[in-house]
C-alpha cells in the first residue's frame, strides 16, 4: 500500500479565472489555497521538482463513447441513479464546466510542461507514482457544495481533496465514482496537445472520479 498522505495533492474548482475559480492543496501537514490559477500551477511545479504530485480538476474529464445515438447524452454511470443527486455531464451546467475545464486543464498542463519539462503524467490511480516529476491526474465531482458564498470555490476544492484522501487510503482497492465501458478522455487530449505524451491511447483511458 502506497502512502498517499506523503504526496502533494491539489484540486482546482473550475470557474472563470479571476471571478469564481478556486484551488486548494495539501502537502503533508501544510495546507494552501487561493483563487489565482498561476499560483496553483507554481505550487504543483514546485512539488513535482521534489516528489510526486496529484492534481484534480472539478470538471468532467472523460465523456462516454456509445453506439446508440439515443444515449449519446445520457449521464455517465455514477452521475445519477438511486439515492444520487443527478448531475449529468450533458446538463447545461455540466457541459459548460466540461468545456471550461478542458481549457483550464490545457492551460495548466502547458504551464507545468514549461516549468517541469521532464515530468510525466498518469491517470493510473491504482498504481500512484512515487518518484519526483510524476503527476497523477484525477476528476473531482462535487455535489455537496460548500455554502459560504465568498469562499465557496476554495472550500469545494478542499472538500474534494478530503474525499480523494479517503478514497486513496488504499489505491489498489480505490473505486471510481464514475465509469464507462468506453470513453473519450478530454484531459488525455490536453496531455497530447501540451506535449506530455504522444500515445493516443490516452484518449481512451479513464481517470479516478471522486464524488463528494
Q: pLDDT for 5-28, tens place per residue?
A: 679 999 999 999 988 999 999 999
Task: Report the number of distinct structural domains present in the chain.
Answer: 1
What kind and span of H or E run contains 110? helix 92-115
Please report the pLDDT score of residue 145 as a whole number: 65
pLDDT of 82 reads: 83
How do 209-211 and 134-141 pair as beta strands?
A: parallel
Strands (E), 72-142: 120-122, 134-141
Nearest to 194 by CA among 132, 131, 135, 126: 135
The pLDDT of residue 85 is: 84
Q: Which residues contact 28 (CB under 8 A, 6 or more apart)?
A: 5, 6
How much is the mean pLDDT over the chain? 94
Q: What is the mean pLDDT of residues 143-164?
A: 84
Max avg pLDDT among 84-98, 141-155, 185-199: 185-199
Q: What pLDDT does 143 receive?
A: 87
d(CA 178, CA 206): 9
Distance, in Å, from the CA atom of 208 to the CA atom of 124, rounded to the nearest integer, reads 8
The residue assigned the cell 519539462 is: 117
Give the pairing type, strands 53-57 and 134-141.
parallel
The three-state secondary structure class of 124 is coil
Among the residue ranges 15-29, 72-86, 147-161, the one predicted with the least confidence is 147-161
Which of helix, strand or coil describes residue 57?
Answer: strand
Instruction: Label residue 1 by pLDDT band (50, 70, 90).
Output: very low
Q: How far, in Å, are 34, 46, 88 from residue 79 at the CA level? A: 28, 34, 5
Average pLDDT over residues 142-168: 86
Rounded (10°) angle between helices 37-50 and 92-115 = 50
User: What three-state secondary structure class fits 9?
Assistant: strand
185 pLDDT tier (thresholds 50, 70, 90): very high
**Residue 98: which domain range?**
4-211
Return the C-alpha torsion angle 187, 104, 107, 121, nearest 10: -30
The pLDDT value recorded for residue 110 is 99
Quick check: 2 pLDDT over 60? no
Whole-prediction pTM: 0.94
Distance of CA 46 to the CA centre of its chain: 18
Residue 54 main-chain phi, psi, to 5 deg: -125, 130
- Rounded to an integer, the average pLDDT of 135-142 is 98
Whole-angstrom distance, CA of residue 109 vs CA of residue 171: 24
Amino acid at each position: 500500500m502506497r502512502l498517499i498522505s506523503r504526496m502533494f495533492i491539489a484540486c482546482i474548482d473550475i470557474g472563470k479565472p479571476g471571478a469564481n475559480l478556486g484551488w486548494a492543496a495539501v502537502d503533508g501537514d501544510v495546507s494552501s489555497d487561493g483563487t489565482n490559477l498561476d499560483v496553483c500551477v507554481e505550487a504543483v511545479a514546485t512539488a513535482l521538482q521534489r516528489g510526486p504530485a496529484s492534481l484534480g480538476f472539478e470538471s468532467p474529464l472523460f465523456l462516454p463513447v456509445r453506439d446508440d445515438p439515443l444515449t449519446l447524452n445520457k449521464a455517465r454511470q455514477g452521475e445519477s441513479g438511486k439515492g444520487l443527486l443527478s448531475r449529468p455531464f450533458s446538463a447545461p451546467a455540466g457541459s459548460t464546466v466540461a468545456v471550461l475545464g478542458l481549457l483550464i486543464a490545457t492551460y495548466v498542463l502547458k504551464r507545468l510542461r514549461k516549468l517541469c519539462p521532464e515530468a510525466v503524467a498518469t491517470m493510473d490511480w491504482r498504481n500512484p507514482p512515487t518518484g519526483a516529476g510524476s503527476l497523477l491526474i484525477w476528476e473531482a465531482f462535487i455535489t455537496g457544495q460548500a455554502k459560504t458564498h465568498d469562499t465557496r470555490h476554495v472550500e469545494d476544492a478542499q472538500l474534494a481533496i478530503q474525499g480523494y484522501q479517503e478514497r486513496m487510503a488504499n489505491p489498489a482497492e480505490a473505486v471510481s465514482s464514475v465509469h464507462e465501458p468506453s470513453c473519450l478522455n478530454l484531459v488525455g487530449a490536453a496531455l497530447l496537445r501540451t506535449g506530455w505524451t504522444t500515445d493516443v491511447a490516452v484518449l481512451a483511458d479513464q481517470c479516478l472520479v471522486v464524488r463528494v
